[in-house]
């Protein structure tokens, strides 16, 4: 697919079809880039809900007769979506099930037409949307490579020249000459991904299917995606794995209730999404723990409206009421020096006895990079229980961070860290400053010394040791 424009404008949807025009053109854009590879402009998609199952030809005719007089019910998985993908972009799309992620990719790739809006494509797309898409079950793997490659617009000669590379990357051995209907789901993914990445695409679109493959092949795919990203190929990835989006993408789009809820740097958008989903999960959990006689809200009331400035979630059976960062003199501050002492005090109160709790924290760079994440249980400090109020101290004798801006996460969990009682995510900023002006590069300072020596001194030292 290259340099195509799909334009859809609204009409009378019940009585006539949408107006559709297709042309092949390249258009300059201002903004993020002059010539985006993908330009989605105010796209919406609508499906008609089918609630009745027709069991006979008579039922079908009755349904068609009724349809002329009924307005029907519709579902909109996408509403007014606009986004641009420029050369070299790596964009992750995340959201809960039913938020419209897969529908958006199908609209972008032309599998589904939008109901309204415009999709402009100006580049060759390789996509991996569904397991087995583009394969014929009765054909062998080798024959399907030629079939799938031709769908991508590759000539027979080009496919033949790349056939050995495709087969080698897929690692399915002699099964390449076996009908793909006998393949496992993992073998489908291997061959499909291998064909897609060998088509010389300008845009690679992947929808979650890589989770089907085994761990070794997933790592191989991730490495190839990173190589393609480094080569300037645009990546559009749908995944429920937040770490994959953090690792592979520079930008992330959060779809919520068929609309774009957030679009920005991957680390920030993923944090906003995880904050919302965790808050939603623990709101429901708290509702389940509350006796029915004490509940004054409906189930719908437990679904929080995302508050992106609030990064806190948990059952709140134990609450963190205050967090202090103190220096070696015991003074509460928000600025520290590399190598100085940092004491973190977590003040808490409980609403019930908490057996074998875990206290944890994490330090992030301001850009979202995760520096470390220790917890009390993993480091061998076990508490039998906490009940009432108390304070937990975490002391860093020599802060190993280089100058920069950082954010602190603190939390109280159960013993195996599966249930959060109270989690404060990146809520406590602090700064590390150097007294010498510009500090060294990187995040962590490793204590060491510089010394100019002679070759003779090195040899002498080697002999003595």
* End-to-end CA, the chain: 66
Residue 405 lies in a domain: yes
Can you give the pLDDT at residue 439? 65
Mean pLDDT along residues 2-9: 43
Percent of the chain with pLDDT over 90: 49
Q: How confident is the model at residue 270 (pLDDT cuts 50, 70, 90)?
A: very high
Summarize pLDDT for 356-397 with one digit per residue, the tens: 999 999 999 988 889 999 999 999 999 999 999 999 999 999
Can you give the pLDDT at residue 207? 84
Mean pLDDT along residues 317-337: 95
Residue 59 lies in a domain: no
CA separation for the pair 194, 173 (Å, rounded): 13
Residue numbers of the domain that contains 400: 311-465
Tell me how crowded residue 125 is: count the other CB atoms within 10 A of its CB: 24
Percent of the chain with pLDDT over 70: 80
CA 404 to chain centre: 26
Is the per-residue pLDDT at 234 higher than 70? yes
Residue 342 lies in a domain: yes
Among 335, 324, 413, residue whose Cα is nearest residue 374: 413
Which is more confident, 21 or 42? 42
Can you give the pLDDT at residue 173? 86
Can you give the pLDDT at residue 64? 61
Asked if residues 399 and 286 have their Cβ atoms less than 8 Å apart, the reply is no
Q: How confident is the model at residue 309 (pLDDT cuts 50, 70, 90)?
A: very low
Can you give the pLDDT at residue 58? 64
Summarize pLDDT for 392-448 with one digit per residue, the tens: 999 999 999 999 999 999 999 999 999 999 999 999 999 999 877 666 788 888 888
Alpha helices by DSSP H, 97-184: 101-108, 141-151, 156-170
Which is more confident, 5 or 208? 208
Asked if residues 398 and 339 have their Cβ atoms less than 8 Å apart, the reply is yes
Which is more confident, 53 or 279? 279
In three-state secondary structure terms, 225 is helix
Can you give the pLDDT at residue 71? 57
Q: At residue 179, what are phi and psi to the nearest 5 degrees?
A: -55, 135
Max intra-chain CA distance, the chain: 100
Can you give the pLDDT at residue 447? 81
Mean pLDDT along residues 304-319: 72
Summarize pLDDT for 106-148 with one digit per residue, the tens: 999 888 999 999 999 998 898 888 766 778 889 999 999 999 8
CA 13 to chain centre: 35
Residue 428 lies in a domain: yes
Which is more confident, 302 or 331? 331
Residue 402 DSSP one-character state: P
Residue 279 lies in a domain: no
Residue 61 lies in a domain: no
Residue 449 lies in a domain: yes
CA separation for the pair 69, 84 (Å, rounded): 40
Is the per-residue pLDDT at 10 higher than 50? no
Q: How confident is the model at residue 20 (pLDDT cuts 50, 70, 90)?
A: very low
Q: Which of 12-21, 58-67, 92-101, 340-349 has the lowest mean pLDDT?
A: 12-21
Strands 90-94 and 234-238, how do they pair?
parallel
Mean pLDDT along residues 271-278: 90
Residue 1 lies in a domain: no
Among 119, 125, 89, residue whose Cα is nearest residue 104: 119
CA separation for the pair 114, 111 (Å, rounded): 10
Mean pLDDT along residues 246-264: 92
Can you give the pLDDT at residue 361? 96
Query: What does pTM read for this prediction?
Result: 0.74
Q: How confident is the model at residue 216 (pLDDT cuts 50, 70, 90)?
A: confident
Is the per-residue pLDDT at 456 higher than 90? no
Residues 6+ apart with CB under 8 A from 107: 40, 43, 45, 78, 113, 114, 119
In three-state secondary structure terms, 331 is coil
Which is more confident, 20 or 235? 235
Question: How many domains, in total, are found in the chain?
Answer: 1
CATH number at residue 350: 2.70.50.60
Among 299, 346, 340, 343, residue whose Cα is nearest residue 318: 346
Can you give the pLDDT at residue 94? 93
DSSP assignment of 298-323 equals -TGGGSPPP-TT--EES--SEEEEEE
């Amino acid at each position: 697919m290259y340099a195509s424009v799909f334009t859809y404008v609204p009409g009378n949807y019940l009585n006539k079809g949408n107006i559709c025009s297709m042309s092949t053109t390249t258009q300059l854009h201002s903004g993020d880039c002059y010539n985006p590879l993908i330009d989605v402009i105010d796209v919406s998609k609508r499906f008609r809900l089918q609630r009745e199952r027709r069991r006979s030809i008579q039922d079908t005719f009755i349904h068609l007769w009724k349809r002329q007089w009924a307005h029907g019910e519709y579902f909109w998985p996408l509403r007014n979506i606009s986004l641009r993908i420029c050369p070299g972009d790596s964009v992750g799309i995340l959201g809960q099930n039913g938020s419209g992620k897969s529908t958006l990719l199908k609209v972008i790739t032309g599998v589904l037409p939008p109901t309204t809006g415009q999709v402009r494509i100006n580049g060759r797309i390789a996509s991996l949307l569904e397991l087995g898409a583009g394969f014929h079950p009765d054909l062998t793997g080798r024959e399907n490579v030629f079939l799938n490659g031709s769908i991508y617009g590759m000539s027979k000669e080009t496919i033949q020249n790349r056939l050995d590379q495709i087969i080698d990357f897929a690692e399915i051995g002699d099964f390449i000459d076996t009908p793909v209907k006998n393949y496992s789901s993992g073998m489908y993914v291997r061959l499909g991904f291998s064909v897609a990445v060998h088509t010389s695409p300008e845009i690679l679109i992947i929808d979650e299917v890589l989770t089907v493959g085994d761990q070794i092949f997933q790592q191989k795919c991730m490495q190839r995606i990173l190589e393609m990203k480094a080569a300037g190929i645009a990546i559009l990835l749908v995944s429920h794995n937040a770490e994959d989006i953090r690792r592979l993408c520079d930008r992330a789009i959060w779809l919520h209730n068929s609309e774009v809820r957030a679009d920005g740097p991957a680390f920030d958008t993923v944090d906003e999404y995880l904050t919302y989903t965790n808050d939603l999960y623990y709101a429901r959990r708290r509702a389940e723990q509350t006796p029915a006689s004490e509940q004054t809200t409906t189930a719908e009331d437990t679904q929080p409206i995302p508050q992106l400035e609030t990064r806190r979630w948990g059952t709140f059976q134990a609450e963190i009421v205050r967090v202090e960062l103190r220096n070696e003199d015991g003074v509460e501050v928000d600025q520290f020096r590399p190598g100085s002492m940092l004491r973190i005090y977590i003040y808490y109160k409980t609403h019930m006895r908490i057996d074998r709790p875990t206290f944890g924290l994490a330090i992030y760079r301001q850009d979202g990079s995760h520096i470390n994440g220790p917890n009390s249980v993993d480091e061998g400090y076990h508490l039998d229980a906490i009940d009432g109020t108390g304070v937990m101290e975490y002391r860093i004798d020599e802060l190993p961070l280089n100058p920069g801006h950082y954010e602190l996460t603190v939390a109280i969990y159960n013993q195996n860290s599966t249930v959060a009682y109270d989690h404060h995510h990146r809520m406590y900023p602090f700064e590390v400053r150097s007294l010498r002006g510009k500090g060294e590069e990187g995040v962590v300072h490793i204590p060491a010394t510089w010394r100019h020596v002679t070759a003779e001194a090195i040899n002498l030292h080697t002999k003595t040791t």
